[in-house]
Amino acid sequence: MNEPRQPTCILAIESSCDETAAAVVRDGRRVASNVIASQHELHEAYGGVVPEIASRAHLERIGPIVDRALLEAGIDLEDLDAVAAGVRPGLIGSLLVGVSFAKALAWSRGLPFLGVDHVESHLLAGLIDRPEVAWPAVGLVVSGGHTCLYELSGPLDLRLLGATIDDAAGEAFDKAATMLGLPYPGGPELDRLAEDSGAEPEVELPISLMRRDSLDFSFSGVKTAMLYAIRGTPRREGGRTVFERSGEDLAPERRAVLAASFRHAVVAALVRKTTLALETTGARTLLAGGGVVANRLLRRELEALAVARGLELRMPEMAYCMDNAAMLGVTAHERLVRGQRDPLETTASPTTRRAR
Ligand code: KG4
Ligand code: ZN
């Protein structure tokens, strides 16, 4: 059953990893502003996010980013009904910047504060600017930090069906891209190489299925297989692991074939488990969110799956696939209209809720 839309104006703040973001969301569905400051240039040299650098950059940027979000939405603080922030999961020092800022703002203006879950919000990004969803739904979150399948009987009623037991899909894409010598952050680069080269996935890499009836994922095996495919079989020599060749020796055509093969293996695992989740739940809608949903092969495969099963697929626009604050505003709206508020004692947590 669809909830009646209630008019709300919510400022949401995101600082869980390496994006400082703020958004103003109206009525839980319309994005009045969506400002994102990426820190990629600060972490590039290290090949990954450095927590201490990330939290310091959030601290410098959060004030101006919130100002810009209000300005672009054409509103003042008086127009707000609530302030929300992503409270989990993420880097604790980074999360604390956004959460403390949001709580201080809420307290000083006498507004309700809502601390929302970042991973669950990735799924609700599919509600932005769209008609109401037919529940129940299966939700697939694929990001740099998380790979989860949920059953949803409403926007806030989630049951975790499965999750990765090791690497997240985005993390695996990033690591494989590094092995191929592609620039950071590598997921989109690997996708681009596979797509633009038109290379066939000729190298057989393992498609992780865990147990046949399990809805969990594992991507460490395909990552190791990729390493061996690039550098040959390792051997021990004088107490050290030595590979047959270096990643730099890869011919461009071989690099493209390996990129296509890796993308194929990861996407196949995601699609097979999503299909199993749809079969076991009888869901009418498939919600997909998180940075990896920008992957073109995954988008095509999910579209084909939805057509084959006659269900509605909700994939957010690219801007709402990657980390953003607008998706947090949607979750905060759903909670606010149900009378939910969080106390100012609420604090950040590095892990997500595991409601299995
Ligand atoms: O959701 P997100 O912005 O941040 C997290 O919550 O982690 O996801 C970022 C992840 C990164 O690992 C990035 O490499 C991956 O999404 N990603 C992609 C693509 N675009 C972003 N992975 C594969 N193909 C893409 N096109
Ligand atoms: Zn995310």
Strands 285-289 and 312-314: parallel
What is the pLDDT averaged over residues 68-77?
A: 98
Q: At what angle do helices 252-281 and 186-197 cross, to 10 degrees?
A: 100
Cβ-based neighbours of 281, under 8 Å, separated by 6 or more: 136, 138, 151, 161
Average pLDDT, the chain: 94
**Atom 8 of ligand 1, nearest CA residue:** 291
Tell me: pLDDT of 355 over 70. Answer: no
Helices (H), 116-179: 118-124, 169-179
| Helix/strand/coil for 55 | helix
pLDDT score recorded for residue 6: 84
Q: State in Å: Cα 306 to ligand 2 middle.
A: 23
Could you tell me if 169 and 177 are in contact, meaning their C-beta atoms sit under 8 angstroms apart? no
Residue 113 backbone dihedrals phi, psi, to 5 degrees: -110, 140
Tell me: pLDDT of 239 over 80. Answer: yes
Q: State in Å: Cα 76 to ligand 2 middle.
A: 28
* Max CA distance (Å), the chain: 69
User: How far apart are the C-alpha atoms of 273 and 43, rounded to whole Å?
Assistant: 33
Tell me: pLDDT of 41 over 90. Answer: no
What share of the chain in percent tops pLDDT 90? 83
How sure is the predictor about 1, in pLDDT bands with cuts at 50, 70 and 90? very low
Mutate to test the pocket of ligand 1, among 292, 324, 327, 328 (most ligand atoms within 8 A of CB): 292
Name the most confidently modeled range: 186-195, 210-219, 242-251.
186-195
User: How far apart are the C-alpha atoms of 87 and 100, rounded to whole Å?
Assistant: 10
pLDDT digits (tens, 9 = 90+) for 94-104: 999 999 999 99
pLDDT score recorded for residue 354: 57
Q: Which residue has the higher pLDDT, 12 or 183?
A: 12
**What strands lie across the sheet with 19-26, from one edge to the other?**
30-38, 19-26, 9-14, 82-88, 113-117
User: How far apart are the C-alpha atoms of 174 and 282, rounded to whole Å?
Assistant: 33
State if pTM tops 0.75.
yes
pLDDT score recorded for residue 18: 86
What is the pLDDT averaged over residues 46-69?
A: 92
pLDDT score recorded for residue 330: 98
Tell me: pLDDT of 155 over 90. Answer: yes
pLDDT score recorded for residue 13: 98
Residue 81 backbone dihedrals phi, psi, to 5 degrees: -100, -20
Which amino acids bring their CB within 6 angstroms of ligand 1? 17, 143-145, 170-171, 173-174, 185, 187-188, 191, 290-292, 294-295, 322-323
Q: State in Å: Cα 122 to ligand 1 middle.
A: 12
Tell me: pLDDT of 345 over 70. Answer: yes
How sure is the predictor about 352, in pLDDT bands with cuts at 50, 70 and 90? confident
Helices (H), 180-295: 186-197, 220-231, 252-281
Q: Which amino acid is at 184?
A: Y
Q: State in Å: Cα 122 to ligand 2 middle.
A: 7
